[in-house]
């Protein structure tokens, strides 16, 4: 996400290097390039105008701080202005009230609303809530069945809606049924249309008036750019939304919607969808997003991803095994599965400062097939072989290679690398840091 904007802003800041002061001329030149970069990123033109005005006002006449170069000084100002533009701080859901609370998802067809309902319920469960999915789209064929399937996949209860019932009646009955289902949070998946029409808005207004949700969240496709911003503005005028969930952010190289919505609607982006998996939903942090845009990585989001996927008890157990140099291939297989749940390697590495730039320059390449290959090799081993790799002789290696669809050389490489890592862990345990660079490499 934001790939094009990040690349262009990097060129602007590079051009300011070597300047002693932030003069009117070099600031004007930089602002012109920033303006083009933002417009090409599909940021709303009125938002761009106000954004550049603030940067100009804060930059002109300033002496460069002793610890900063002119480029760094502008980065600092742009960073602060970007954070302000996107809302300054994560905006949490209003779910602190007593009793059962309702969250209403609205939006057009094709925005990913039903999948987002599943993602949001998964996220809330991880944060101590007990969600109840409520399908009220009685118009779209199989919409109810789609949400029921998602609920089964992530083991979250779904209210048994009937397409013959009125949407507002379904919601009212689900609100009564939630406590019996052990749930405290309704997530209502409303109907959508290809375009905004009076019939849709009337239906949504009736539902909202009947159940009085604590949050009315617009689900919008980030890849539609300014259309998503215009959509947010229209929904906000008609039914007063409380926030926005932007889907498909992983495929949005421009990012204009994320940068424009808060300024245009005065309603925050609360979540972003970052993939198709039902755990690919992140809270929206303006500070972290600004850091990504400016090419400085996002380590905090990476830590959040790791904490949400890694089992704490398993981590403690693993650390003890590593301390005793008892780490085996079965343990390694578990770690691979955790990493794969966090997202693609490109996405994960891109959150580390400087790594995204290296990947862009071709200095660091990721190959998801390598992880799949390694996992297939380990899966083709017997439990005994995973526990003790030393028993894997020539005939066993041939069997494992054949079973995993790989070459014997691939099996040999994995075992060699694993043996080297075991040796490194023993040295690390003894306080000998030599050889720490010989971590896993499957190439």
The CA-atom distances, in angstroms, between 185 and each of 175, 177, 204 are 9, 11, 19
Domain ranges for the chain, please list them: 3-86, 101-296, 303-429
Least confident of 94-98, 103-107, 197-201, 220-224: 94-98
| SS3 of the chain: helix, strand, coil, percent, to 5 | 60, 10, 35
CATH of range 3-86; options 3.20.20.80, 1.20.120.140, 1.10.10.10, 2.40.50.100: 1.20.120.140
Least confident of 25-29, 280-284, 380-384, 389-393: 25-29
- Nearest to residue 382, comparing CAs of 309, 438, 333? 333
The class (CATH top level) of 303-429 is mainly alpha
Is residue 218 within 8 Å of 232, Cβ to Cβ? yes
Is residue 145 within 8 Å of 163, Cβ to Cβ? no
Please tell me the predicted confidence (pLDDT) of residue 299. 47
Domain at 101-296: CATH code: 3.40.50.300
Is residue 348 within 8 Å of 409, Cβ to Cβ? no
Strand (E) or helix (H) holding 281? strand 281-283
How far, in Å, CA of 121 to CA of 278, rounded? 9
Please tell me the predicted confidence (pLDDT) of residue 323. 59
pLDDT in tens, 114-152: 999 999 999 999 888 999 999 999 888 788 999 999 999
Under the banding of pLDDT at 50, 70 and 90, the label for residue 314 is low
pLDDT in tens, 10-30: 888 877 766 666 677 778 888
pTM for the structure as a whole: 0.68
Strand order in the sheet with 131-135: 131-135, 185-189, 101-106, 215-221, 243-247, 269-273, 281-283
β-sheet bridge partners, residue 206: none
Q: Is the pLDDT of residue 59 over 70?
A: yes
Mean pLDDT of 177-193: 92
Q: Is the pLDDT of residue 350 over 60?
A: no
- Nearest to residue 86, comparing CAs of 273, 258, 217, 241? 258
- Nearest to residue 4, comparing CAs of 270, 292, 272? 292
How far, in Å, CA of 435 to CA of 421, rounded? 9
Q: Which residue has the higher pLDDT, 338 or 207?
A: 207
Under the banding of pLDDT at 50, 70 and 90, the label for residue 216 is very high
How far, in Å, CA of 102 to CA of 132, rounded? 9
pLDDT in tens, 324-341: 666 788 877 777 766 666
Q: Mean pLDDT for the chain?
A: 80
101-296 against 303-429: fold identical: no
């Amino acid at each position: 996400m934001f790939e094009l904007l990040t690349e262009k802003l990097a060129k602007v800041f590079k051009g300011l290097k070597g300047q002693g002061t932030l003069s009117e001329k070099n600031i004007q030149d930089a602002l012109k390039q920033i303006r083009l970069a933002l417009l090409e990123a599909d940021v709303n033109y009125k938002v761009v105008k106000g954004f550049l005005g603030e940067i100009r006002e804060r930059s002109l006449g300033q002496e460069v701080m002793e610890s900063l170069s002119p480029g760094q000084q502008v980065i600092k100002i742009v960073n602060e202005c970007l954070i302000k533009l996107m809302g300054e701080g994560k905006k949490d859901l209003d779910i602190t009230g007593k009793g059962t609370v309702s969250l209403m998802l609205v939006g057009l067809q094709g925005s990913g609303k039903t999948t987002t309902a599943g993602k949001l319920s998964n996220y809330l469960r991880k944060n101590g809530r007990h969600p109840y999915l409520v399908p009220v789209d009685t118009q779209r064929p199989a919409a109810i069945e789609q949400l029921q399937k998602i609920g089964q996949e992530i083991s979250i209860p779904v209210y048994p809606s009937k397409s013959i019932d009125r949407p507002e009646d379904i919601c009212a009955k689900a609100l009564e049924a939630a406590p019996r289902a052990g749930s405290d949070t309704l997530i209502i998946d409303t109907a959508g249309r290809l375009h905004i029409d009076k019939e849709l808005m009337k239906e949504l207004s009736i539902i909202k008036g009947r159940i009085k949700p604590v949050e009315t969240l617009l689900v919008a496709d980030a890849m539609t750019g300014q259309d998503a911003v215009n959509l947010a503005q229209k929904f906000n005028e008609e039914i007063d939304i409380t926030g926005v969930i932007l889907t498909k952010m992983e495929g949005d190289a421009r990012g204009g919607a994320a940068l424009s919505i808060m300024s245009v609607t005065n309603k925050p982006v609360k979540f972003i969808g970052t993939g198709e998996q039902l755990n690919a939903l992140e809270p929206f942090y303006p500070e972290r997003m600004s850091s990504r845009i400016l090419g400085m990585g996002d380590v905090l989001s990476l830590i959040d991803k790791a904490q949400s996927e890694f089992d704490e008890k398993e981590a403690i157990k693993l650390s003890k095994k590593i301390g005793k140099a008892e780490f085996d291939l079965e343990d390694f297989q578990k770690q691979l599965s955790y990493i794969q749940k966090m997202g693609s390697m490109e996405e994960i590495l891109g959150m580390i400062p400087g790594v995204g730039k290296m990947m862009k320059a071709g200095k660091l390449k990721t190959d998801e097939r390598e992880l799949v290959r390694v996992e297939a090799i380990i899966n083709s081993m017997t439990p005994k072989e995973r526990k003790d790799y030393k028993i894997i002789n020539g005939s066993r290696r041939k069997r494992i290679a054949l079973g995993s669809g790989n070459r014997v050389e691939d099996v040999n490489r994995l075992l060699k690398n694993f043996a080297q890592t075991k040796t490194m862990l023993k040295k690390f345990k003894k306080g000998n840091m030599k050889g720490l660079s010989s971590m896993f490499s499957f190439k």
